[in-house]
Structure 1
Amino acid sequence: MTVVLLPPVGNDAATWQWIDAPAGAVRHRFPGFGRPRAETTPTMASLADEVAALYPGPLHLVGVSMGGMVAQHVALRHPDRVASLLVACTGASASPDTMLARAAAAETQGMRGVLATTLQRWFTPAALAADPPHPGVVYARDTLLALDPSAFADGWRAIATHDAADRLATLPMPVTAVAGKRDTASPVARSADIADRAPRGRLVVLDDAPHMAQLETPDLLSGAIADHLAAAGA
């Protein structure tokens, strides 16, 4: 079985550098984030099908934010391939209008123009104000500023196609929905909704975690991942 780590929008494979990942885990890269942009604008369906095609055998999927959304769609479109899901700091659906507005802002303002609001959604005020700078914040800032704004916009447009809510009841595999109590971008209720809808769902709340839990509180998320994979028999 393969553990596949699916990153948030705008993040590349290095987003997992502080996570204690199991041996052999694969750090997936979405189009435009650490690899070339897709030829056509990605959707949840296209991103999910690519994950299923790239990695053979049964999959344990671990995703944060957009990565957690894609993980849901892999499980829905390829349920025979997915042994378990851990989806962190994400929801069962997204607001298309909000996501499309973020895409437009990236294209009109550039990455520097959307940097501050993005980091404020992702991290706690304490992490943003840390001196010396928090390494997770440094990674996020540098990675965002190096992005093609159109690639960032592609990510938001893909998220705009996310709506799995009415189908989560069909998932046969164990699903752990991880929430950060300090996550203002995706509050605990959104993760609780996933856990409630999935027949084998459970909710795990990390008291000190923000939206980018893998960057600001990697020890907490690492523990949740290890517990989930142990329970799922990975």
Structure 2
Amino acid sequence: MQTVTLSLFRFDTALARLWVLGQMATARLALRRMQGAGFWKLCGSGTGEGFTPKPNWGVWAILVVWPDEATARRQLNDAALFRRWRAKSTEGWTVFLAPQSARGLWAGVQPFTATDAACAATPGLAVLTRASLRPAKLARFWARVPGISAVIGADPHVAFKIGIGELPLLHQITFSLWPDAACMARFARGDGPHGRAIKAVRAEGWFREELYARFHILGATGTWAGADPLLLLKKDAA
């Protein structure tokens, strides 16, 4: 069963931040050669809730698609690349996911193979969206972001959210954890900033490419802001 990992790392010192900037070039070779690593992306992050055009130089991410969970866990634990990132960072968290559904393309391919198997080890739903923006639509898109970020930050149901991206301003990714699909749908499709933005996307053609995926949550390792975000999902389910 295909397994996807999203690993977040926090770098607090100036030297560590300079080091990870260099990794945006050098880590690519290691990922290309890593056994079992299929589709992968190195990403920076934005500040605030969700994402903003202002980068957060202290938070970086690695997303990898693996053939199975055993390979994912072995490589996250043993591969030199991930050991180096853990050693240089002040905090790290990795979530293990199994694709539940996916539509759209990422860099011209569909990287996620969906499964209907009852494989979740943790209650809840993980959602990833990725969009490649048309340069002519950048101003319209970013004008919507503050309202969306404020709403998702105030939503009592979202257990975790972060905005990351491959290229500032143009390629944007959001990742979030929800207790169930109904809670996520109310946020995404309601008559709020996000719902209105989605309507504008469709009407005005903001994106050159987009992908939307949902995932079963298999588990996680490490902490983020001092805790495992999955604990909030388990608390909601209790």
Q: Same fold (TM over 0.5)?
A: no
Instruction: Report the TM-score, using the length of structure 1 for normalisation.
Output: 0.28
Structure with greater Cα Rg? 2
**Whose relative contact order is higher, 1 or 2, with alpha carbons under 8 Å and at least 6 apart?**
2
Structure holding more helix per residue: 1
With structure 2 as the length reference, what TM-score do the two structures score? 0.28
- Pick the structure with more strand per residue: 2
